[in-house]
Amino acid sequence: MINGKALRSRDIVAVFVVSILIFIPFATLVLKMFPLSEAVVSNGGMIIGYGLMFVVIRHTASTFSISFSDVTKRPFARIFFPLAIAYAALLLAFTSGQNFIVVYLVAQYDPGFAYAHWNFHDVPYVLQITGWGYVALIVAQFVIAPFVEEFVFRGLLLKVWSDRWGVSTAVLLNAALFAALHLNRHYFLSTFVFGIVMCLLYIRYQSLWVNVLTHAVFNLMAFCYQFLFNFHWLKSLNELDRMSNWVPEIGMLLVSVPALSVLIIKSWPLSGLLKGRK
């Protein structure tokens, strides 16, 4: 607090929204003025936009005497690596399985719409990325986006809302806003679950670094899953409405749902973020 006033969540959310709607598009527009590849332009815009977002939010937090270590809490530990891989794999499996359910149901009525709307394809993707494009992609998707998003949502918003409404409500609101601001209606449920799990990790391990690493590993796995191995998306039109063509995704759902359910149920009621408060 400073002068009797606490950091307000609406200030944090406002900066995040402005960054998404103004900072990133403007930075992308400026980069398009130079002879750069599309990968450098799009990911470079994200790097600049998220960088500005972090600077503004970090300054705002510091004016309320919230230090960087107050947000990150415990330092990085080697145990975070296996944890991040395990949780990221489960979350990606759930995302793929949840997507299968929606696509399969839609394909029962209109396979053509499902095929086009979810961007399935008959031939593998050929990534048009080389050199600096890969550098920009790695920095944007696997470094700065995971760090800034976890700093904002789990590091700041979760604490602010916990102080106001209690931890359980804060977790649900945090996950809902995180899913809504990702602006992808196809993955709202899986992104909502992702947000809940990230909140639980932060509360349980009291370190932002386990969140950042898990988020980064998830993004890396999702990128490889979709663009390098073309898994799940490499299907023909007449395959979408047949259950037999979704066996891997069904298996992922059968594994991820019980595992994530156990994690969430065993972590509720929540504790650890606020002393003596649930």
> What is the rounded CA–CA span in Å between residue 187 and residue 117?
13
**pLDDT tens-digit readout, 252-263:** 999 999 999 999
Q: Is residue 67 in some structural domain?
A: no
Q: Is residue 155 in some structural domain?
A: yes
> What is the rounded CA–CA span in Å between residue 24 and residue 27?
5
Cα-based angle 41, 42, 46 (whole degrees, multiple of 5): 110
pLDDT at 236 over 90: no
**Average pLDDT of 105-115?**
92
- Place 5 in a pLDDT band, splitting at 50, 70 and 90: low
Q: Is residue 13 in some structural domain?
A: no
Q: Is residue 82 in some structural domain?
A: yes
Beta bridge partners of 239: none
Residue 29 CB burial class (10 angstroms; 0-12, 13-18, ≥19): exposed
**pLDDT tens-digit readout, 63-80:** 888 999 999 999 999 999
pLDDT at 277 over 90: no
- Place 49 in a pLDDT band, splitting at 50, 70 and 90: very high
Residue 209: give the domain boundaries.
74-129+138-266
Which spans in 64-144 are helix H? 68-72, 80-107, 111-117, 132-139
pLDDT of 6 reads 72
Q: Is residue 68 in some structural domain?
A: no
Q: Is residue 50 in some structural domain?
A: no
**pLDDT tens-digit readout, 143-197:** 999 999 999 999 999 999 998 888 999 999 999 999 999 877 788 999 999 999 9
Q: Is 5 helix (H, G, I), strand (E, B) or coil?
A: strand
- Place 275 in a pLDDT band, splitting at 50, 70 and 90: very low
- Place 129 in a pLDDT band, splitting at 50, 70 and 90: confident
**pLDDT tens-digit readout, 190-227:** 999 999 999 999 999 999 999 999 999 999 999 998 87
Average pLDDT, the chain: 89
pLDDT at 52 over 90: yes
Q: Is residue 102 in some structural domain?
A: yes
Please count the structural domains in the chain. 1
Q: Is residue 249 in some structural domain?
A: yes
**Average pLDDT of 101-112?**
92
Backbone angles phi, psi at 224, to 5 degrees: -65, -40
Within 10 A of 90 (CB to CB), how many other CB atoms are there?
21
